[in-house]
Amino acid sequence: MHLLIPAAGSGKRMGADRNKLLLEVHSKPLIAWTLLAAEAANSISWIGIVSQPSDWEDFKSIIADLKLKKTIEFIAGGSTRQESVYNGLQALPETAKQVLIHDGARCLATPSLFNACSEAVLDCSGLIAAISVKDTIKIVDNNGIITSTPDRQQLWAAQTPQGFDVKLLKQCHAEGVRQGWEVTDDAALFEKCGIEVRIVPGEETNLKITTPQDLAIAEFILSHR
């Protein structure tokens, strides 16, 4: 299985002056934990890190320290996650039939989750790891007034990895460029193109590191693994 890791973001919401994936949790950079999980997943054979070239030297140093054995390629990222994934898709080997896309900031995903998504995507066009919502969700208007309360039994919180047929995902990204669509994940492009996307059970601990509080939670989770 081929894996793309969008890693071109900044650390603004984290209050950092550099790529947040270079910040450390449990004595290792965030990107290191993501790469270790991908290395341990027996389904993953090729990894593409999509990031700004200014970060490549730091990432290469991390990879050298980890002594990873799998093929890792560096791909220039775009100004948005959507652009970065588009660039990553163009850089995939011609032999790639399916691809997993996993945000580097979700550094707590396990090898088991990568393997489960890799297996499931062989039997469908697209999938996302996700967990059912436990909280009651409110729809609120611009004035802060609640307008509705959706049935939480039909609500799922999207995670990554997300897996897709490469040919279809390239077509959806091309259509997104043509139509000027702006989306926050690749599943949304499939939805807009009318292609079904399946849910694969995610992991409660697979949180996205966005704020300093998330770092503290990740530290706690890793210390108990």
Residue ranges making up the domain that contains 132? 2-223
Count the domains in the chain: 1
What 3-state class would DSSP assign to 25?
A: strand
Sign of the torsion angle spanned by Cα atoms 210, 215, 220, 225: positive
Binned at pLDDT 50, 70 and 90, residue 18 comes out as confident
Q: Using CA atoms, how far apart are residues 19 and 42, in angstroms rounded to an integer?
A: 28
pTM of the predicted model as reported, rounded to 2 decimal places: 0.94
Q: Using CA atoms, how far apart are residues 117 and 130, in angstroms rounded to an integer?
A: 11
**CA 193 distance to own-chain centroid:** 21
* pLDDT tens digit sequence for 20-39: 999 999 999 999 999 999 99
* pLDDT tens digit sequence for 123-137: 999 999 999 999 999
- CB-neighbour burial class of residue 53 (10 A; exposed 0-12, middle 13-18, buried 19+): exposed
- Residue 23: partners with Cβ closer than 8 Å, 6 or more residues away: 11, 14, 16, 29, 30, 215
The residue written with tokens 């989770």 in the block is 221
Please determine, for residue 11, whether its predicted confidence score (pLDDT) is greater than 60. Answer: no
- Residue 125: partners with Cβ closer than 8 Å, 6 or more residues away: 164, 165, 168, 190, 195, 196, 197
**Domain at 157, CATH number:** 3.90.550.10
Q: Average the pLDDT over 186-211 and give the result.
A: 96
What DSSP element (H or E) covers 145? none
* pLDDT tens digit sequence for 89-135: 999 999 999 999 999 999 999 999 999 999 999 999 999 999 999 99
* pLDDT tens digit sequence for 143-183: 999 999 999 999 999 999 999 999 999 999 999 999 999 99
For the record, the structure tokens of 97 come out as 């039939």
Residue 8: the pLDDT is 84
